[in-house]
Structure 1
Amino acid sequence: MSLEQKESCSGCGVKLQATDSKQLGYIPPQSLEKGNSICQRCYRIKHYNEASEAVLDENDFLRILNRIGGTESLVVNIVDLFDFEGSFVQGLHRFVGGNPVILALNKFDLLPKVTNPNKLVNWVQQQAKANGVKVAEVIILSAKKNIGFDRLVSAIEHYRDGHDVYVVGATNVGKSSVINRIIRDYSEMEEELTISQFPGTTLDIIKIPLDDGNYLIDTPGVVYHYRLTEMVRKKELQALLPQKPIKPAVYQLNEEQTLFFGSYARFDFVRGPRQSFTCYVANSIPIHRTKLQRADELYDMHKGEMLAPPDKEGVEALPPLSRQSIKIPKGKFSDISISGLGWIKVNSTEGAEIDVYVPKGVKVSIRDSII
Structure 2
Amino acid sequence: MSKQQLEQGACAGCGVKLHTESADKPGFIPASALERDPAICQRCFRIKNYNEAISVTIDQDDFLKLLGGIAATNSLVVHIVDLFDFEGSLISGLQRFVGNNPVLLVVNKIDLLPKGVNMNRLRNWVQKQAKTQGLQTVEVVLCSAKRNIGFDRVIEALAEYRGKRDVYVVGATNVGKSTLINRIIRDYSDLDRELTTSRYPGTTLDAVHIPLDDGHDIIDTPGIVYNHRMTEIVPRSVLQALLPDKPIKQMVYQLNDKQTLFIGGLVRFDFVEGERQSFTLYSSNALPVHRTKLERADELYADHRGEMLAPPTKEQLDEIPAWTRHRLTVRRGSDTDVFISGLGWIHVNGGTGALIDVHAPKGVRVILRDALI
TM-score range, shorter chain: over 0.9
In the TM superposition, what is the alpha-carbon distance from 1:85 to its structure 2 partner? 0.7
Note if contact 2:38-2:193 (Cα within 8 Å) is conserved in structure 1.
no
Pairing partner for 2:60 from 58, 61, 65: 58
- What whole-Å deviation, never above 9, does each CA across 1:275-301 have from its counterpart, x for those lacking one? 100000001001111000000000000
**2:220, 2:100 → 1: CA distance?**
19
**2:210, 2:3 → 1: CA distance?**
19
Q: Please give the residue correspondences for 1:352-363 in structure 2 after superposition, counting only pairs within 5 Å.
A: 352-363=354-365
Pairing partner for 2:124 from 122, 125, 139: 122
Match of 2:296 in 1: 294
Whether 1:318 and 2:320 are equivalent positions in the alignment is: yes
Match of 1:191 in 2: 193
In the TM superposition, what is the alpha-carbon distance from 1:305 to its structure 2 partner? 0.5
In the TM superposition, what is the alpha-carbon distance from 1:237 to its structure 2 partner? 0.7
Note if contact 1:81-1:106 (Cα within 8 Å) is conserved in structure 2.
yes
In the TM superposition, what is the alpha-carbon distance from 1:34 to its structure 2 partner? 4.1
Note if contact 1:3-1:17 (Cα within 8 Å) is conserved in structure 2.
no
Q: Secondary structure at the match of 1:211?
A: coil
Whether 1:107 and 2:109 are equivalent positions in the alignment is: yes
Q: Please give the residue correspondences for 1:41-52 in structure 2 after superposition, counting only pairs within 5 Å.
A: 41-52=43-54
In the TM superposition, what is the alpha-carbon distance from 1:59 to its structure 2 partner? 1.9
Tell me, which stretches of 5 or more residues in structure 2 are unaligned? none
Match of 1:343 in 2: 345
* Counterpart code for 1:237: L
Match of 2:42 in 1: 40
Match of 1:162 in 2: 164
* Counterpart code for 1:225: N
Match of 1:270 in 2: 272
Pairing partner for 1:209 from 187, 195, 211: 211
Match of 1:231 in 2: 233
Match of 2:15 in 1: 13
Pairing partner for 1:366 from 347, 357, 368: 368
In the TM superposition, what is the alpha-carbon distance from 1:160 to its structure 2 partner? 1.1
In the TM superposition, what is the alpha-carbon distance from 1:60 to its structure 2 partner? 2.6
In the TM superposition, what is the alpha-carbon distance from 1:33 to its structure 2 partner? 3.2
Note if contact 1:171-1:200 (Cα within 8 Å) is conserved in structure 2.
yes
Match of 2:176 in 1: 174
- What whole-Å deviation, never above 9, does each CA across 1:56-106 have from its counterpart, x for those lacking one? 132232122112111100011111010001111111111110000111111
TM norm structure 2: 0.98
- Structure 2 vs 1, CA of residues 321 and 187 (structure 1 numbering), >3 Å: closer, same or farther? same
Match of 1:89 in 2: 91
Whether 1:282 and 2:284 are equivalent positions in the alignment is: yes
**1:93, 1:4 → 2: CA distance?**
40
**2:114, 2:36 → 1: CA distance?**
47
Note if contact 2:12-2:38 (Cα within 8 Å) is conserved in structure 1.
no
* Counterpart code for 1:264: L
Q: Secondary structure at the match of 1:356?
A: strand
Note if contact 2:336-2:370 (Cα within 8 Å) is conserved in structure 1.
yes
Note if contact 1:51-1:234 (Cα within 8 Å) is conserved in structure 2.
no
* Counterpart code for 1:291: K
- What whole-Å deviation, never above 9, does each CA across 1:244-266 have from its counterpart, x for those lacking one? 11010000100000000011000
* Counterpart code for 1:39: C
Note if contact 1:75-1:166 (Cα within 8 Å) is conserved in structure 2.
yes
In the TM superposition, what is the alpha-carbon distance from 1:22 to its structure 2 partner? 1.9
Q: Secondary structure at the match of 2:160?
A: helix
* Counterpart code for 1:347: N
* Counterpart code for 2:245: Q
In the TM superposition, what is the alpha-carbon distance from 1:28 to its structure 2 partner? 1.4
Note if contact 1:56-1:200 (Cα within 8 Å) is conserved in structure 2.
no
Note if contact 1:110-1:242 (Cα within 8 Å) is conserved in structure 2.
yes
**2:310, 2:52 → 1: CA distance?**
24
* Counterpart code for 2:138: A
Match of 2:80 in 1: 78
**2:328, 2:201 → 1: CA distance?**
30
In the TM superposition, what is the alpha-carbon distance from 1:3 to its structure 2 partner? 4.9
Q: Secondary structure at the match of 2:106?
A: strand
- Is 293-302 or 33-42 further displaced after alignment? 33-42
**1:33, 1:106 → 2: CA distance?**
36
Match of 1:2 in 2: 2
